[in-house]
Chain A
Amino acid sequence: MLYYIIRRILLAVPTVLGVCIVTFLLFNVFASPEAVARKQLGKNPTEAQVKVWITAHGMDKPMFFNLKAEKDGRLHPLDSRFWNQMKELLLFQFPESDYLHEKVGDLIKEKIGPSLTITVPAFLLSIIVTLPLALFVAYYRGTYLDKMAMFVCVILMSIVILVYIIVGQYLLAVVFKYFPIYGYEYGLGAWKFVLLPIILAVASGLGGGLRFYRTVMLNEVRSDYVRTAMAKGVSEGGILFKHVLKNAMIPILTTTVLSIPFLITGSLLLEMYFGIPGMGNLLLNAINNSDFPIIRTLTYVYSLLYIAGSILTDISYTLVDPRVILE
């Protein structure tokens, strides 16, 4: 198993390098250093200020290879924008944010906690709510109840998440005052601030999730082994809870485990709207401030998370499906 993980990680290296190259191209080739400097320096900076900023951020160095000798006559061919940025990312020596003047690494450490207080409970609550509902609907498949439930799901799916959040906050926090509108408290007091975001997160995903789980289960219900089980005299409940559920877990697990690493990234919208100082908020502010170091670093980090997620998913396959052997 360990051998497999190591192999997968090694195989992922070319992909990670590819990601770094793509992000580098995006941020350095398509945007000129002057434009970025001006954005960061606010109103009408002087030429000198722009130059100082550019040098300080290493944007005056050549793109890929530095073939100009330094003052002391030595050559540092890898002292270029590309290699400097690669070094930062690959060695996890994350740069400093243009706007916030803190190291991105420290920022990440600060912001992960609040994000997790929303995403983890939302994730668990989603599963706890959707799975039994899906089993229930699968039991009554084909009936009017089933059709109504699916129609309701499509309707729920057709409502933009924005509306869930705006209307949810307005009605429940502003009008009915069940929840605080905005803000965050570190430590145990956080729960009252995250309760509404969690509820809205689960509600907005309910339609799509229920439909997906139901589809997976009905797929299994149509298979031959269910017919055999019925011929043996297994009850409807036994078929769903024993035979179908275990088989349905295989595709359900793929999608669920894949999203686990992303619990760290936090929900952009929820954090923005409810003032939660998490990773999503970090990214959002970086966008508004054109804070490239943060966006660059986060892009890299999130890609690593995706790769980690897909390795985790493959491993979880072996735990649930006896037919799968790790090669």
Chain B
Amino acid sequence: MEEVLTIETLRTHFYTDEGIARAVDGVSLSIKKKGTLGLVGESGCGKSMTALSVLRLVPTPPGRIVAGRIRLAGREVLTLSEIEMRAIRGRLASMIFQEPMTSLNPVFTIGNQVVEAVRIHTDMGMSEARLVALDYLEKVGIPAARERMDEYPHQLSGGMKQRVMIAMALCLKPPLLIADEPTTALDVTIQAGILRLMKDMQEETGTAILLITHDLGVIAEMADEVAVMYAGKVVERGACETIFSSFLHPYTEGLFRSLPGRAGKGEKLYTIAGTVPSALHFLTDCCRFNPRCPLAIERCRVEEPPLVDVGGGHAAACWVRAPGGI
């Protein structure tokens, strides 16, 4: 099956006054057509920057994509000109963001904004584009869509706004949808609805999804495959069931053990020792997780473990749990 997105050793660095922040430092992953890849990790691990790199939306004065390849629907993203990129954004890959409250322009109607997405990439006239917009607004479940099209974002709730974002992102049926923490800013009661909507729309439009989140529950709901990131690198990847049932990397283990449900009654909640490092100070020539790892051996402190395939598409980067490397 062909892959919609292939990222090979992507490095995105930020050049700041305080030094170089290597936010994305050698990330490789791929997403199959119509598949869903969940990208998991704590804040600061580089998952959002990976997503922004795919569409080359990284803020470029401090940031820069310095190495790697990104192949999106057959196009080599890193070799394209800005004009070619603009033709891709919204058309071959769309993105929705975490804060629906501020992600829509407050002075234009929601109909106007969806229509804009349509008309940038097609030759449709105003009325035709409005029909498409209306169609998708109805599909994402906006009640009385025809009237609400002429309303302004502040007149909608957070959940409704996120639905509008999804409509905007999918109305041109892009092969890939990148969703950066789409439900994190929403009420828990609304989250499930949005996720279900995304799954339904995925069926409808045949879009693959790159879903970024720190919430393992969301992963469980949505993802076929999972990649776990830590300190700018992918430390484990595999099929969703495999990761959930037989995780290997100590960091992944830590994430699962920290879930409140795992602790028995009266037991202390588990936390991973130490704190997440800042991208300015990532360790080199060793396993980046080793200061916090309960299993660390001498080798972990001196040599960086590669991602090793342990069978069935499951891979982990750990000298102790997946030693099969050179």
Contact = CB atoms under 8 A, between A and B. Distances in A.
Given A232-B116, A233-B121, A225 B89 contact: no
A322 B154 contact: yes
Interface stretch (B99-107, B123-131, B294-302): B99-107
Interface string B166-207: 001000000000000000000000000000000000000000
Nearest to A142: B61
Contact of B86 (A224, A233, A247, A323): A233
B165 A228 contact: yes
Nearest to A320: B107
A320 B107 CA distance: 8
A232 B89 contact: yes
Given A228-B97, A323-B152, A233 B107 contact: no
B57 interface: yes
A147 interface: no
Looking at A225, A232, A235, the one whose CB has the most chain B CB atoms below 10 A away is A232
B106 A230 contact: no
Contact of A246 (B102, B107, B117): B107
Interface in A71-109: none
A230 B55 CA distance: 10
Contacts of B95: 231
Given A223-B102, A322-B154, A230 B57 contact: yes
Size range of the interface on B? 20 to 34
Contacts of B55: 231
B105 A243 contact: yes
A303 to B, nearest CB: 33
A185 interface: no
A224 B59 CA distance: 13
Contacts, number: 70
B270 interface: no
B57 A227 contact: yes
B66 interface: no
Contacts of A230: 57, 89
Interface string A175-199: 0000000000000000000000000
Contacts of B89: 230-233
Most A CB within 10 A of own CB, among B90, B104, B107, B120 = B107
A231 B102 contact: no
B20 interface: no
Interface string A211-246: 000000000000111011111111100000001001
B222 interface: no
B90 A233 contact: yes
A233 B91 contact: yes
Contacts of B57: 227, 230-231
A224 B102 CA distance: 6
A323 B102 contact: no
Given A231-B90, A322-B107, 11 more contacts: A227-B57, A228-B97, A228-B104, A231-B89, A231-B95, A232-B94, A233-B88, A233-B91, A233-B120, A323-B106, A323-B152
13 contacts: A223-B102, A225-B103, A225-B104, A228-B97, A228-B105, A228-B165, A228-B168, A231-B55, A231-B89, A233-B88, A233-B91, A235-B86, A321-B106
